[in-house]
Structures are given as structure tokens and as C-alpha cells.
Amino acid sequence: MLPKKLNKKLEDRKANNAFRELGSKSKLVDFSSNDYLGFSKSETIFDAAHQYLVDNNLKQNGATGSRLLSGNHKLYYETESEIAKIHNCEAALIFNSGYDANIGLLSSVSQRGDIILYDELCHASIRDSINMSNAKSYKFKHNDLEDLEQKCQAERSRSPKESEIYIVTESIFSMDGDTPDLEKLIKLTKTQNAHLIIDEAHALGVFEKGLVQKLGLENDVFARVITFGKALGCHGAVVLGSQELKDYLVNFSRSFIYTTALPPHALATIKMAYSELTKTNEIHQLKENISFFKKEVKRINFQNKFIQSDSAIQCCILPGNEKVKSVASILQDHGYDVKPILSPTVPKGKERLRFCIHSYNSKEKISEVLTLLVTFANQ
């Protein structure tokens, strides 16, 4: 029997229309997955990864242990070296997931007496990592650099000189699809002598090699976290930064040290996905689809309900769990996989439909799903 306190939490979720359940893989038109470029289904990447393993005699199902024990197979060196070059940074360290990367980075780097200032809409993995650190932490208003600057100045004035300030944000926010002004953010970071950490999970592939790199700002960022489970269509993540940062994480990042390493076939898939990323035409097609989606939102006169975004994530605010679940269910009944985002995942009153745009979405289907949206959302 489940303890009464836990059972009550489940019943409360059901009462608030916020109960989560695992669904099965659908055959609906995909407007919900993070597979922005269709790489997860790419036979080219699959076949290339398999052939690489065969050619290099890496016929091994598992890594056999952590990287500091028996799991540091040779493909790690090659893949990390290539990723560092692609992202124009000194060093790269692969983690088993984006969650592991954020947990391992922030919880180990920030020390007692340090300060972490983070955007209030940062991903759960960032917030969990902050809770695991010994630093003091304060959130700043979403993408509000004035609020951030005020908090930086306040902490500088009352903290010991040896205290470090870490500013944490995302280049593309997963539940809003918007972005901070990265150029102004970096200027602020330099002025305040702080260290900037940026999660680029939803930027890689959508903005080529990431938004930081697209803007030419990679040398001004302390650390970037890039995950492979979105546009690259595979699994794992990487922390990009200096060689000294990599050395530090290898020695002190618990989510890196105390976990079994990724198997060779996972690394081969990452390697081949990056190879495909450098030559694919899917990025251009994705940009066209995002632009078309936004034009169609204006056509149906629904732009005031959508959060401003130039990314693959386009969100329509429909307040109330019951309302947004109802509209999502109708869209799914009509053949479109659009997911509702409920409170408490987002603040109450900010419940939304989250449309993920892909390179393989047809313009016809984009128009149809938005026509259905305006029809049933106004009922």
C-alpha cells in the first residue's frame, strides 16, 4: 500500500486536473516532440553509426563501468574532441543526459559563500542542481536584465570579496520558446565580474550550432550545456568550456563520476548526428516552417494568445488545466499530436498548448491545425 501522504498527493493532482500518465507512441501528426530536424528517425544516421562501430571493431553493448573505472572507451576521446572543435571551445565533457549535465555542473562548481542568480523560468534540472549546491541562490524575473543587475549589485555589496557570482539562464526556454538578450546579458556579466552558464538544449540544430555560437559569443560564456536528445535525435549531453573546467568536473561532478558511461553505440550515434548536422538542409526547412507557422497565427488573428518566439517552440496560452486539456484532446482526435502544458509545470493561469515545429511538418498540416485551434479554443 502507498503511504497515506503520498496517496493524498496523487488524489490532489487528479482533483486539480493535473494528473500525469504515460502515453503510448502515437501515429498522429507530430507537433509535440523535440525531434526538430527528424534526426531520431534518420536511417542515414542509424546506418552510419552502425557501420562506424563495425569498421572500428567496437562491437560492445555496454561501457562496463564509469569513465573513471572501465567505461572510458576510445570513442569518448574522439567524439569530445570533435564536439569541442565544432562548438569552438577548448574542451567538451559528455554526460549521460541533459539532467545529469546540469546537476553535475552547478552542484559541483558553486561553493559555499558563492551566489547563483537564475532566471525564474529555468528548467527543473537547473533548479534541482541549485538546490544541491552549497551556494546561496536567488531567482530573477524572466529575461529581466534590470532586475538581474540590481540583484548582482546587491550581492556584490554584501558578500565577501572572494564570493563568486554565477548567472544561469537558457538560450531558448523550453516552455515559452523565447530567448534573453544574450549580448546585453554578457555585457552585464562582464561588468559584474560574474560567470555565465547557458543551457542551449533547445537551440542546437534550430539555430545551427546554438544561439550563443550563432551570435559569436562563445568565448564570453563560462559554460554551455548542450543536449543531444532534441534536434540531434539521440541521447546524452555535453558541457562546453575550458580545459580547467573539464578537469574540475572529472574530479568533482558526482553525476559524472558515479554513473556508468554511455555505450559505444550511443557515442557513435552522437558523432554521426553531428556529422549530419553540418551538411543537412533540414535546418533551412525548419526555419521556413517556423516562419510559416507565425504567419498563419497572424492569419487566424491569434497572435495575442501566443508567446513571442522565433524558435521551434510556439506556445498558445489557454488558462485553466481543464480548458487546455480539452482543446488538446480535440486536436488529437482530429489527428494532431499537440500537448497541453498544465500547472504546476507552468504557473496557474499560464496553462498552454505547446506546438513544436519540425522540418518535416507540411505547410498544409500547419494551416489545418491552427484552423482547428481557432475553431475550438473560442468555444
The pLDDT assigned to 23 comes to: 76
The pLDDT assigned to 1 comes to: 87
Query: What are the average pLDDT values for consecutive 10-residue runs of the chain, which has 379 residues?
Result: 92 87 84 97 97 94 95 94 97 97 96 96 94 95 97 90 94 95 97 96 96 96 98 97 98 97 97 95 97 97 95 96 94 96 91 97 97 89
The pLDDT assigned to 10 comes to: 93
357, three cell numbers: 515545429
Q: Which domains does the chain have, with CATH numbers?
A: 43-277 (3.40.640.10), 281-377 (3.90.1150.10)
The pLDDT assigned to 379 comes to: 67
The residues, any chain, with a CB within 8 Å of residue 17's CB and separated by 6 or more, are 321, 322, 325, 342
Nearest Cα residue to 107 out of 252, 258, 223, 242: 252
Q: For the CA atoms of 67, 73, 75, 77, what is the dihedral angle to 10 degrees?
A: 50
Nearest Cα residue to 98 out of 4, 158, 34: 34
